[in-house]
Amino acid sequence: MSKIGRKNISIPEQVTVTVTNDHVLVKGPKGELSTHLVAGIKVKVENQEVLVERKNDLKQSRANHGLIRSLIANNIIGVTKAYKKTLKLVGTGYRVSSAGAGLSMTLGFSHPVTVDAVPGIAFKLEGNDTIHVEGVDKQLVGQVSANIRDLRPPEPYLGKGIRYSDEIVRTKPGKTVA
C-alpha cells in the first residue's frame, strides 16, 4: 500500500466533502475546489474522515493512490487556510504597483511588464518590492508565482531579479583582474 495513500484525511468542522462518480468536491469558508478521480481509485467519507482506496493493484492505480489522497488533502487545507507565496523584487529600479486587479512591474526592460489577474488568485503588495500571491488552489498559486518569477529570474552574478522570499540565490564570482 502507498504510505501516503493509506493515511485518512480528517475533515474540519467548517468543511464539507462530497463524492460523486468522478469528482470530489470540497467546500469551506474560503471557497470550493474539485478534484477529478481517476479509474482505479475509490473515495469514501466516513466519520468526518476521507478514505482513499484502490480498486485493484495495478501499477498505475498504486501511483494514483497517494496522488489523489494528497490532492484532496491540499484542497481541504486550501479552503480552510488558503495558500500564500511571497515574491521579492531585488535590483535597482525594480518595483511593482497594482494595475486594477493585476500587477504592473518595472523590471529593467524598456517597457513596464503587466500581469493580468487570474480568477481565484489575489495579489497583495507590501511596499513596492514585495508581492504576496494568495489563493485556495495550491497548484494555481504555485503556477502563477512561477510565471511571475519567470519574467525576470535572479541572475547569478548580482542576484538581481524576482525571487521567492525563502529562496537563496547562489552568486558566482565575477572576473578577476590579473
Residue pLDDT, tens place only, 104-151: 999 999 999 999 999 999 999 999 999 999 999 999 999 999 999 999
- Written in H, E and C, the secondary structure of 47-77 is CCEEEEEECCCCHHHHHHHHHHHHHHHHHHH
| Alpha-carbon gap, residue 86 to 91, rounded angstroms | 17
User: Which residue pairs from 65-70 have beta carbons closer than 8 angstroms and sit at least 24 positions apart in sequence?
Assistant: 65/1, 65/2, 65/4, 65/5, 65/41, 66/2, 66/3, 66/4, 66/5, 68/5, 68/35, 68/37, 68/38, 68/41, 68/43, 69/2, 69/4, 69/5, 69/7, 69/9, 70/4
**What pLDDT, on a 0 to 100 scale, did the predictor assign at position 27?**
96
Give ranges for CATH 3.90.930.12 in the chain: 9-80, 83-164
CATH, domain range 83-164: 3.90.930.12
Which 8-state DSSP code applies to residue 78? H
**What pLDDT, on a 0 to 100 scale, did the predictor assign at position 174?**
86
**What pLDDT, on a 0 to 100 scale, did the predictor assign at position 178?**
65
Q: Which residue has the cell 538581481?
A: 160
96 near 89, Cβ under 8 Å?
yes
Burial zone of 47 (CB within 10 Å; 0-12 exposed, 13-18 middle, 19+ buried):
exposed
Residues of the chain with pLDDT under 50: none
Q: Which fold has domain 9-80?
A: Outer Surface Protein A; domain 3 (3.90.930)
**What pLDDT, on a 0 to 100 scale, did the predictor assign at position 92?**
93
Give the 3-state secondary structure of residue 135.
Answer: strand
Give the 3-state secondary structure of residue 81.
Answer: coil
**What pLDDT, on a 0 to 100 scale, did the predictor assign at position 1?**
56
34 near 20, Cβ under 8 Å?
no
